[in-house]
C-alpha cells in the first residue's frame, strides 16, 4: 500500500492507494473535525480510527480533517470534500459522528452528495458527539453573526446588541 501525505495549516489530507499504477475511479473519504487547536489529540484519535476503519474497506481513500467550527462552511477540508463529491470522485464519505461534517445543514450536504451518487455514512450511530465547549463556541458564533448583521442594518453598536442578547438569555 502506498502512503502519500499532504499537510496544510488547517487541513490534513492523507491518501492511501492499493496500486500506484492505476488511479482509482472513486474513493472513500474519511472526514474528521474538531473546533479548536486545543482539541488536536481528539482530531488525531478521529484520524487514527478512520484510517483503521477505511483500511478494512480495501479501497483507496483519503482522510481529510479540519480545525474549525461546525458552523463554518469555509473550512478548507470541508470544501475539498465538497469539491471531490461534485467532481464525482467519491463513493462514500465516512464521519465518526454526524456533527463532525457540519453542525447544521447535514441534510443539505447529504442531498447534494446523493445527486453525485455519493453516500455519507456515520460510523458511530449510537452517540451524537457534542462537546460542551464546541457547542458554546457555535452558539457564540451564531450570536456574533446575527448581531453583526443587525448592527449593520440598524446602525447600532454591535456590542450593545450582544449584551442585550446575553441579557435575554439569562432572564
Whose CA is closest to 77, among 34, 40, 24, 106?
34
Map residue 126 onto helix, strand or coil.
Answer: coil
Helix (H) or strand (E) holding 62: strand 61-67
Say if CB 35 and CB 84 are below 8 A apart: no
Q: Per this entry, what is the length of the chain?
A: 171
Residue tagged active-site, from 35, 65, 69, 147 = 35
Q: What residues contact 158, with CB distance under 8 A and at least 6 apart?
A: 147, 148, 151
35 is catalytic: yes
Side-chain-side CA neighbours of 133 within 13 Å: the count stands at 7
Report the catalytic residues.
35
Amino acid at each position: 500500500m502506498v502512503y502519500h501525505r499532504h499537510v496544510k495549516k488547517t487541513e490534513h489530507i492523507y491518501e492511501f492507494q492499493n496500486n500506484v499504477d492505476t488511479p482509482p475511479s472513486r474513493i472513500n473519504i474519511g472526514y474528521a473535525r474538531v473546533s479548536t487547536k486545543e482539541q488536536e489529540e481528539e482530531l488525531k484519535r478521529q484520524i487514527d480510527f478512520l484510517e483503521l476503519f477505511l483500511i478494512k474497506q480495501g479501497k483507496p481513500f483519503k482522510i481529510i480533517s479540519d480545525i474549525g467550527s461546525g458552523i463554518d462552511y469555509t473550512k478548507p477540508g470541508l470544501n475539498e470534500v465538497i469539491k471531490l463529491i461534485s467532481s464525482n470522485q467519491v463513493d462514500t464519505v465516512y464521519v465518526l459522528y454526524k456533527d463532525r461534517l457540519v453542525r447544521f445543514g447535514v441534510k443539505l450536504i447529504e442531498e447534494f452528495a446523493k445527486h453525485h451518487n455519493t453516500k455519507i455514512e456515520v460510523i458511530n450511530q449510537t452517540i451524537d458527539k457534542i462537546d460542551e465547549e464546541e457547542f458554546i463556541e457555535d452558539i457564540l458564533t451564531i450570536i456574533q453573526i446575527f448581531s453583526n448583521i443587525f448592527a449593520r442594518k440598524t446602525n447600532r453598536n454591535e456590542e450593545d446588541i450582544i449584551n442585550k442578547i446575553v441579557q435575554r438569555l439569562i432572564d
